[in-house]
A and B are shown apart, each in its own frame.
Chain A
Amino acid sequence: NAGVTQTPKFQVLKTGQSMTLQCAQDMNHNSMYWYRQDPGMGLRLIYYSASEGTTDKGEVPNGYNVSRLNKREFSLRLESAAPSQTSVYFCASSEDHLNYGYTFGSGTRLTVV
């Protein structure tokens, strides 16, 4: 099925470890996004990529880096994980979010101990 695929689905890290969350979409969308979802706080934008080759910070970028590898793939890296980064991470894509809105992946549940 067409859509947004995220890996892994679950991950437990120790404080200070690093990891990369992968995201790929097969809808030929131009824009891709990384959000985190925390209880009582809604979804908050970490980074986005309006088009291949560009990335920009969102509301909560500290502690994260991203790479727009090609049009399909947008990865999120935690260089030195902290307990405050325990969250559910969602990747989303859109052809043109002003007119067509977002398509979301199923999420990665990350726990940092």
Chain B
Amino acid sequence: KQEVTQIPAALSVPEGENLVLNCSFTDSAIYNLQWFRQDPGKGLTSLLLIQSSQREQTSGRLNASLDKSSGRSTLYIAASQPGDSATYLCASSGGYQKVTFGTGTKLQVIP
């Protein structure tokens, strides 16, 4: 059974810092890996999706990488802002019933 782990569970950084969020998974047989943002009391907003054949995806200040062989994905946030404060979740997809979510990293960016 796929297990997805996100460490740390919480992270606090000063504004302007570049940071990396980690996601690890135990089964490398995935179709894709998706990163989401969740604000308190809200739904999940898709940030980036990396196909299994890709190494990385970029959107603005966000860059996500995927290394299937090591079972790792990272989300890089450049020049962090207070508005980036949220919980970030990753999810690996191995099929319809095989989407596994991590429990998230709660990020706080301090002005």
* 0/1 interface trace, chain A 1-38, chain B, CB 8 Å (1 if under): 00010000000000000000000000000010000000
Decide if B99 touches A45 in the complex (CB within 8 Å). yes
Decide if B42 touches A106 in the complex (CB within 8 Å). yes
CB distance from A33 to the nearest CB of B (A): 8
Number of interface residues of A (CB under 8 A): 26
Decide if B101 touches A43 in the complex (CB within 8 Å). yes
Bound-complex Cα distance A98 to B91 (A): 12
B34, CB-defined interface residue at 8 Å: yes
* 0/1 interface trace, chain B 15-59, chain A, CB 8 Å (1 if under): 000000000000000011010100001111110010100000000
B71, CB-defined interface residue at 8 Å: no
Contacts of A101 in B (CB 8 A): 32, 34, 46, 49, 93
Bound-complex Cα distance A59 to B101 (A): 12
Decide if A97 touches B99 in the complex (CB within 8 Å). yes
Bound-complex Cα distance A100 to B46 (A): 10
Contacts of B34 in A (CB 8 A): 101-102
Residues of A72-109 at the interface with B, using a CB-CB cut-off of 8 Å, are 90, 92, 97-107, 109
A90-B43, A99-B51, A105-B43 as given contacts; A42 in contact with B102, CB under 8 Å: yes
Decide if A100 touches B49 in the complex (CB within 8 Å). yes
Decide if A50 touches B42 in the complex (CB within 8 Å). no
Residues of B62-111 at the interface with A, using a CB-CB cut-off of 8 Å, are 89, 91, 93, 96-97, 99-104
Further contacts, 7 of them, CB under 8 A, given A100-B49, A102-B44: A56-B96, A58-B97, A98-B93, A102-B46, A102-B91, A106-B43, A109-B41
Contact surface of A with B, Cβ cutoff 8 Å: 4, 31, 40-43, 45, 48, 50, 56, 58-59, 90, 92, 97-107, 109
Which 4 residue pairs are nearest across A and B when measured between Cβ atoms? Answer: A101-B49, A104-B44, A106-B43, A42-B101
Show 19 A/B contacts (Cβ-Cβ < 8 Å), sorted by A: A42-B4, A42-B101, A42-B102, A42-B103, A48-B96, A48-B97, A56-B96, A90-B43, A90-B44, A92-B44, A100-B49, A101-B32, A101-B34, A101-B49, A102-B46, A102-B99, A104-B46, A106-B42, A109-B41
